[in-house]
């Protein structure tokens, strides 16, 4: 069990009494790329995540140990600078700097972290890590930060130290998740309504493509710029406030590609609201249909899918035991999310794995997930 491994490593290598934090990854049932448009999303925390164990340092040096990578980075809390691009330690250093920017004082410390959340699968391992760090430091040094302040720190760390202009959904879902519930999150007001979900005879599964195309981060930032441009031309704060017919008033000022991207965001925002109604009615078939439509928009309008994701969604759509499927996350790789009958899961998994291997000459991974509580202190 990952918790025991991380705690044991800390106790073997550091002298002071530790505290341990679990911070979950997240899924998003529906509502992709709507968060930075101040729209609605439907995320949930899952039972896979990051365990981080903290203790005070008796020296003037802090250390971070990534147990899964077997790598350690040491530094002084008073002299933090960004590392090279793609260095994992930037996620943690960014959190520390943003805490300091809020006027909170922390001393040198040691932290060991590890997890069972697949990296690069679109399950927000970065948000889980950031949240585990800010939550742990808040506990260790009694900083008095609220959960809302903590997720803002996590988001700013990703903006300023990692260079990804992410929305707030990932950090919010990881921090505020509730067991067996999804959160209808309004990304403007930052208020969420928990919706209990009973999947009954169905199972939520993720299929990991094991693909992350190199253009993912730059394409994400590009699409955010497009959304902001269209909102500006419409003279509104964000695309959350737009209706599809309004796009025709500025059609001559934007490209066909930009039009389609804005249209996708408007339609996806509407699908989230429809998903809420489907959950209230316990209508899993309606929810599943919305997932398929979401993927079609992500593929054809927003253009953030890829051959591997499309293949998995097509396979799911051909199986009458699958209610719905779509790509999940920023795009260009990662996971699909699927709602499938439990008694059909084994056969579907074997067939999909075999077909994927034959098509792409690589394996996919299939995970069952449950909806979990958010970031918290563990004993």
User: What predicted TM-score, i.e. pTM, was given to this entire model?
Assistant: 0.87
E-assigned strand segments in the chain? 19-28, 40-41, 43-56, 62-66, 71-75, 109-115, 181-186, 191-196, 202-212, 322-328, 333-341, 365-368, 376-378
pLDDT in tens, the chain (379 residues): 889 999 999 999 999 989 999 999 999 999 999 989 999 999 999 999 999 999 999 999 999 999 999 999 999 999 898 888 788 999 999 999 999 999 999 999 999 999 998 776 777 888 999 999 999 999 999 999 999 999 999 999 988 887 777 778 889 999 999 999 999 999 999 899 999 998 989 999 999 999 876 656 778 789 999 999 999 999 999 999 999 999 999 999 999 999 999 999 999 999 999 999 999 999 999 999 999 999 999 999 999 999 999 999 999 999 999 999 999 988 888 899 999 999 999 999 999 999 999 999 999 999 999 999 999 999 8
Catalytic residue among 170, 198, 241, 373: 170
Q: Provide Rg for the chain, Cα atoms.
A: 21
The domains found in the chain, sorted by start residue, are 2-195+373-378 (3.30.230.10), 197-368 (3.30.70.890)
Partners of residue 206 on adjacent β-strands:
337, 367
- 107 is an active site residue: no
127 contacts 94 by C-beta, under 8 angstroms: no
**Rounded to an integer, what distance in angstroms lies between the CA atom of residue 199 and that of residue 278?**
12
């Amino acid at each position: 069990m990952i918790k025991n491994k991380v705690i044991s490593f800390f106790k073997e290598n550091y002298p002071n009494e530790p505290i341990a934090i679990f911070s979950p990854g997240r899924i998003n049932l529906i509502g992709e790329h709507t968060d930075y448009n101040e729209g609605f999303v439907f995320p949930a925390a899952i039972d896979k995540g990051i365990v981080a164990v903290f203790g005070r340092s008796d020296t003037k040096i802090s250390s971070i140990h990534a147990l899964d990578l077997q790598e350690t980075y040491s530094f002084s809390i008073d002299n933090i600078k960004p590392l090279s691009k793609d260095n994992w330690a930037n996620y943690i250093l960014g959190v520390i700097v943003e805490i300091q920017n809020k006027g909170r004082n922390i001393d040198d410390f040691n932290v060991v972290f590890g997890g069972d959340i697949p990296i690069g699968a679109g399950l927000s391992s970065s948000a889980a890590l950031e949240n585990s760090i800010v939550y742990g430091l808040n506990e260790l040094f009694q900083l008095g930060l609220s959960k809302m302040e903590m997720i803002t720190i996590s988001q700013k760390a990703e903006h300023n130290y990692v260079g990804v202009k992410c929305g707030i959904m990932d950090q919010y879902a990881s921090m505020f998740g509730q067991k067996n519930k999804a959160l209808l999150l309004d990304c403007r007001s930052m208020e969420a309504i928990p919706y209990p979900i009973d999947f009954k005879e169905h199972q939520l599964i993720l299929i990991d493509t094991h693909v992350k195309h190199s253009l993912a981060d730059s394409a994400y930032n590009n699409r955010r710029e497009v959304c902001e441009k269209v909102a500006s031309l419409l003279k509104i704060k964000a695309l959350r406030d737009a209706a599809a017919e309004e796009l025709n008033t500025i059609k001559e000022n934007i490209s066909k590609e930009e039009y389609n991207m804005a249209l996708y965001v408007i339609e996806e925002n509407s699908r989230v609201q429809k998903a809420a109604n489907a959950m209230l009615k316990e209508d899993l078939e309606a929810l599943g249909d919305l997932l398929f439509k979401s993927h079609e928009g992500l593929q054809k309008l927003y253009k953030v899918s890829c051959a591997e994701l499309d293949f998995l969604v097509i396979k799911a759509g051909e199986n009458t035991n699958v209610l719905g499927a779509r790509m999940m996350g920023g795009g260009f790789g990662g996971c699909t999310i699927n709602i499938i009958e439990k008694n059909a899961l084994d056969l579907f998994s074997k067939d999909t794995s075999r077909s994927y291997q034959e098509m792409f000459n690589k394996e996919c991974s299939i995970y069952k997930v449950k909806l979990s509580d958010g970031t918290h202190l563990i004993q």
